[in-house]
Structure 1
Amino acid sequence: MTIDYARARELMVEQQVRPWDVLDMGVLDVISRLPREAFVPEAHRALAYADLELPLGHGASMMKPVVEGRMLQALQLQPGDSVLEVGTGSGYISACLGALAREVVSLELVPELAAAARARLDATGLGTNVRIETADALCYQPGERRFDAVCVTAAVADAPERFLPWLRPGGRLFVVRGRAPVMEAVRLTRGEAVNAATTESLFETELAYLYGAEPVPQFLF
């Protein structure tokens, strides 16, 4: 059976993403244009536009399209922005970020995922402004570089303070935090001071944890 991916993409936007309060026209345009199926492993390609998380291997997965849309909208990206993505995964969000911003640096802990994402970006002709680095985000040192937005594509037990200094004043951090199954997506906006930020709760969801950012086990006596 041949799948009409363009039609499936249109239905995903109109029946899933837009009804979940994704109203930013720039974000909707990018999601409507980019071939999500090209970033889904072959075994699950028929489900590229379903309201499901899809496995990528190595313990990673693609988020549901509705969560991707809300995340991209929350970052409030402008064409001149520089973005840091924590967790490249399939490379799909990297491509979306690249279409919305000037440049993207994407960190991926698993070398195999990083290589596969780079191959997908190159094969689709997308992400020419995306640089993928194989690195542990919890050990990453950007030097003096600062970003307009930081996008964390896996959950953390607590929003890591170490991410805030990577933002320019006014920069936005999107992250999902909490203890499963109760998690919330938040946007932190950095103030003038390095550790000053306002936090806005956006929506509830559940994601797998970023490696090393899991909750500390609690022992009951």
Structure 2
Amino acid sequence: MIKYKRIVLKVSGEALGGESGAGIQPPVIKLIAEQIKQVHDMGVQIAIVCGGGNIWRGETGAAMGMERAQADYMGMLATVMNGLALQDSLEKLGVATRVQTSIEMRQIAEPYIRRKAVRHLEKGRVVIFAGGTGNPYFSTDTTAALRAAEIGADAILMAKNGVDGVYSADPNKDANATKFDHLSHMDIITKGLNVMDSTASTLSMDNDIPLVVFNLNDPDNIKKVVEGEHIGTTIQGKD
């Protein structure tokens, strides 16, 4: 039984960079594509938002003295590179895929058009949303929340690299960190938990979009989540 029939899968740039979290690692991307295909073959409609942190982070550039908007635009281009790499892997597996960008670059991808994206999903194509929101100062977490609301997704799946849920503190640094099984969107905001930025959390809460945070490293985890098996941390509701 499928619990979530239309999902937005948020994949961090670091996940695409493998163990080092840096650069584009085709063997790693192939493994992620195989997981996506497994769920696609079940009939789930899949949209994907890729981060760009494996290549470039706007915040890092700004901290080094760059103008923040310029640095963020560079980060948006990094997400397009990741999206194209993931598209290549998916199509080699026989999964029809479209990349849509919020900043037009027609030679390599479609411009983002909501109705067209929904139509692709209805026809069984995977849609990769690249280029962030198209605006500086907004993260790809916010992009995932925004696109999920626009396309009427049943849930946002946040696939983490080596992290199996939301903890009270960094489990790699604090031995007393406790894992949460369930949280509300308001909990994320008030407790200051490092799941997604406050804009994305508020947008998800206002549109009542469930969020599931789980470990991408287990090859069956995406399938388990869409089937409703409880893994990781589920974030839902205001209270």
Compute the TM-score of the two structures, normalised by the length of structure 2. Answer: 0.36
Higher relative helix content: 2
Higher relative contact order (CA 8 A, sep 6+): 2
Compute the TM-score of the two structures, normalised by the length of structure 1. Answer: 0.39
